Amino acid sequence: MHRLLALIPALCLLFAALQPDRAQAQLSTALPERVITWNLVDWPPFYLLSDGQPPASMEALGEGVIDGFLRRVLQRLPQYEHRFVMLTGARAELERKAGLGLCSASSMRTPERLQDRYFTPAMPTVQQHLVMQRSRVAALDLPTAGVSLRTLFRQAPELQGLILSKRHYGPELEPLLRQAPNVRAIAAPKAGNLLNMLEAGRMDFSLEYPMVLAHHLAQQRPGREAPLVSLPIVEAGEPPVGYFSCNRNAWGRAVMADLDKALREVAAQPEVARLYERWLTPSEAARERPRMERFFAARARGGVKIE
């Protein structure tokens, strides 16, 4: 008994010495540099969020074009804790400036955005279309094979357009939209909000991806004639590339290096080039498939691409 009592002080000292290591191990799982907050968008079918809410975990990400792709990438980053939020573009800018470790899986790279974010190419996109009421397209006798915005704005300057304020519409279309006489940009929590407004006649046109319109109409009016139609835009040019982006600081640079590596690994998967096809018509899928395959093959074989 005396020997046991004599050992107690030594055991206490050993336990105390181990406590800092144990506490440090617990703390390391929540270090800020090991947490990535992903900003998602309620934008089906690019993101398919349950009840329009951000998922509680990586496993709960949907099977949309982008969130399904994002899950594949995050599975290769087990060293990070991934959290998910939904912030407007303006709020995201404020949070980045306040120090939140924020990344996005659906960014378009612009010179202005390069000032506060790193970018790495992730996946190709398709081109956005002009969206109008079917009756208005018929009244204006617009060609369904392709519409020139420049000609449309000149011939019908009274048309009212509404677009999203923080969306980038590409280098070819942005100047046309800025110069158009009656185009306004607004912030909207859901991409579908503008389509609802267009159906209600609150403006004459908007711009959107054709699969977004198709998904919206399938949810709203299954089996009935669509009140809205999408038309290719003559000036649109080559579809832009979608990027992952993160804060332009030391944390963001380190995260981006890991993301770039994971993206190249995912790009090598044979099935990844067909992520879009579930949401395209057979003719659209056949037309887009070679371009998608070329992009992912080049991304898989290429080196680090961080701007």
* 115, 247: one domain: yes
Q: What is the pLDDT of residues 258-297, one digit of tens each?
A: 999 999 999 999 899 999 999 998 998 999 999 999 999 9
* 205, 262: one domain: no
CATH of the domain at 104: 3.40.190.10
* 196, 285: one domain: no
Report yes or no on 17 lying in a domain. Answer: no
Share of the chain above pLDDT 90, in %: 74
The domain boundary, picked from 186, 216, 236, lies at: 236
* 112, 149: one domain: no
Least confident interval from 37-41, 214-218, 260-264, 296-300: 214-218
Report yes or no on 260 lying in a domain. Answer: yes
* 232, 133: one domain: yes
Report yes or no on 7 lying in a domain. Answer: no
| Mean pLDDT, residues 210-229 taken together | 86
Give 299 or 18, the one with higher predicted confidence.
299
* 173, 260: one domain: no
* 91, 54: one domain: yes
The domain boundary, picked from 181, 206, 236, lies at: 236
Query: What pLDDT does residue 32 have?
Result: 82
Q: Which two tokens stand for residue 134?
A: 């079917």
Give the confidence band of 222 by pLDDT, cuts at 50, 70, 90: low
Whole-number average pLDDT of the chain: 88
Number of domains in the chain: 2
With 90 as the cut, is the pLDDT of residue 197 above it? yes
Report yes or no on 36 lying in a domain. Answer: yes
- Three-state SS string over the chain comes to CHHHHHHHHHHHHHHHHHHHHHHHHHHHCCCHHHEEEEECCECCCCCCCHHHCCCCCHHHCCCCHHHHHHHHHHCCCCCCEEEEECCCHHHHHHHHHCCCCEEEEEECCCCCHHHCEEEEEEEECCCCEEEEEHHHHHHHCCCCCCECHHHHHHHCCCCCEEEECCCCCCCCHHHHHHHCCCEEEECCCECHHHHHHHHCCCCCEEEECHHHHHHHHHHHCCCCCCCEEEECEHHHCCCCEEEEEEECCHHHHHHHHHHHHHHHHHHCCHHHHHCCHHHCCHHHHHHHHHHHHHHHHHHHHCCCCCC
Query: What pLDDT does residue 14 have?
Result: 37
* 118, 75: one domain: yes
Q: What is the pLDDT of residues 63-107, one digit of tens each?
A: 999 999 999 999 999 999 999 999 988 899 899 989 999 999 999
Give the confidence band of 219 by pLDDT, cuts at 50, 70, 90: confident
Query: What pLDDT does residue 28 have?
Result: 36
Give the confidence band of 20 by pLDDT, cuts at 50, 70, 90: very low
Q: What's the domain range around 259?
A: 32-125+239-301
Report yes or no on 137 lying in a domain. Answer: yes
Q: What is the pLDDT of residues 170-188, one digit of tens each?
A: 899 999 999 898 999 998 7
Query: What pLDDT does residue 153 have?
Result: 95
With 70 as the cut, is the pLDDT of residue 15 above it? no
The domain boundary, picked from 236, 253, 280, lies at: 236
Give the confidence band of 223 by pLDDT, cuts at 50, 70, 90: low
Least confident interval from 37-41, 69-73, 83-87, 236-240: 236-240
Q: What is the pLDDT of residues 129-152, one digit of tens each?
A: 999 999 999 999 999 999 999 999
* 292, 218: one domain: no
Cα separation, 205 vs 131, whole angstroms: 6
Query: What pLDDT does residue 100 have?
Result: 94
Report yes or no on 266 lying in a domain. Answer: yes
Highest mean pLDDT among 108-112, 177-181, 303-307: 303-307
